[in-house]
Structure 1
């Protein structure tokens, strides 16, 4: 279950770039709460506390509480904007979360036992295709991460979503194929040898086909 956080907020009546810049000078951050068939609520939240919450990790997968003048809103951050140079937070969009609802969330992938992975020990390289997987999850039980055990992965192996033990009630949004999350790329020398062998076999087969045609 993902951790939670709480932020104090105030309703915001000023909008626009000028108002947003003025808020940031005061140590505040413009944000909005929307969804659950209710009107959007522009708010201001403390820049320092929000930045600390973001840097703790899991900002887009943790359920939070926004206290707006004593009224508490259960939310999840759906998006945030960063300054293109300084990486300061500029704006946050929060989605209201109702009890018992489901959410579409990008869940991070964690790889276990890299240090004992046979494929890596033999010179292979872990090639991560997906750092996150878009999942439909219960709002009250969002997993921190999907875990993939590399303890038995060999060079050339592909690790698919079907090999992942999914938490209860969680399903990937892609359901029409067993998509790849990562591969263990074979060492360069081995890979080149395999490619040369495959090319030689193909050439031999082509030669046999031509001989058969000439008979």
Structure 2
């Protein structure tokens, strides 16, 4: 089982966009916790505390949620919303869970050996960042590691190729490509071709505009 972190929270007594904006200015994140047998509860958490604990334990970890005046709950992070420009956390969803019931959760895919492969003038293209799995909370892996050190140009890794811990069920398509290896020059040619196509399209549009004027 992963190491468990603790998130401290307080009930949000009042809910409105204006209040949420004020909370964010004051260093807090509006959030909600929901789960089987309970109504959604609006809460607030400190931004610095939430960012720090997510950095330390990760999005797929199991957390103890301490809401002031209540018994601690076991939760997972169901969703994090970020500002489109600053990427600061703007909202968080937590789901209350039971340690004896399976949950559906996304686990990050971690690449091992990228630097070695890229030193051979190859590019590691990651097409799937997270794997959707179902398992008991005590069996959620911190990450799914993929060792690419022995891979060569043209090699691919699919979901079916991943090493999955016992007790963990994968919900993604087994034929989904996770990682592919290509030569760096092929990637450069593709980008150059894309730029040339864009330039040709712009030229064609310009010629049409001149002809119509």
Consecutive unaligned residues in structure 2, runs of 5 or more: 190-213
What are the Cα deviations for residues 106-164 of structure 1, in whole angstroms up to 9, with x where unaligned?
Answer: 211122233444xx555332121112222223211211111122232122111122222
**Change beyond 3 A, Cα 1:3–1:115:** same
Q: What do you get for the CA RMSD once the two structures are aligned? A: 2.3
Distance 2:128 2:77 in 1: 21
**Contact 2:3 2:57 (8 Å CA) reproduced:** no
Q: Is residue 122–residue 155 contact of structure 1 (8 Å, CA) maintained in 2?
A: no
Shift in Å, 1:73: 1.1
Q: Equivalent residue for 1:2? A: 2
1:31-57 CA-partner distances (Å, limit 9, x unpaired)? 111011211111122222112223436
Asked if the contact 1:36/1:98 (under 8 Å) is kept, the reply is: no
**1:5-24 residue CA offsets vs partner (Å, 9 max, x unmatched):** 11222222200111212333
- TM-aligned CA distance change 1:57 to 1:5, over 3 Å: closer
Q: TM-score, normalised by structure 1?
A: 0.76
The 2-side partners of 1:63 and 1:37 are apart by 19
- Partners in 2 of 1:159 and 1:182 — Cα distance? 5
| Residues 99, 136 of structure 2: 8 Å contact kept | no
The structure having more radius of gyration, on CA atoms, is 1
Unpaired segments of 5 or more residues in structure 1?
193-215
Residue pairs, 1:1-215, within 5 angstroms: 1-56=1-56, 58=58, 60-68=59-67, 69-117=69-117, 120=118, 122-175=120-173, 177-186=174-183, 188=185
Q: 1:74 to 1:180 in 2, by over 3 A?
A: same
Aligned residues: 186
In the superposition, the TM-score normalised over structure 2's length comes to: 0.76
Which range moves more in the overlay, 105-114 or 137-146?
Answer: 105-114
Corresponding residue SS for 1:76: strand
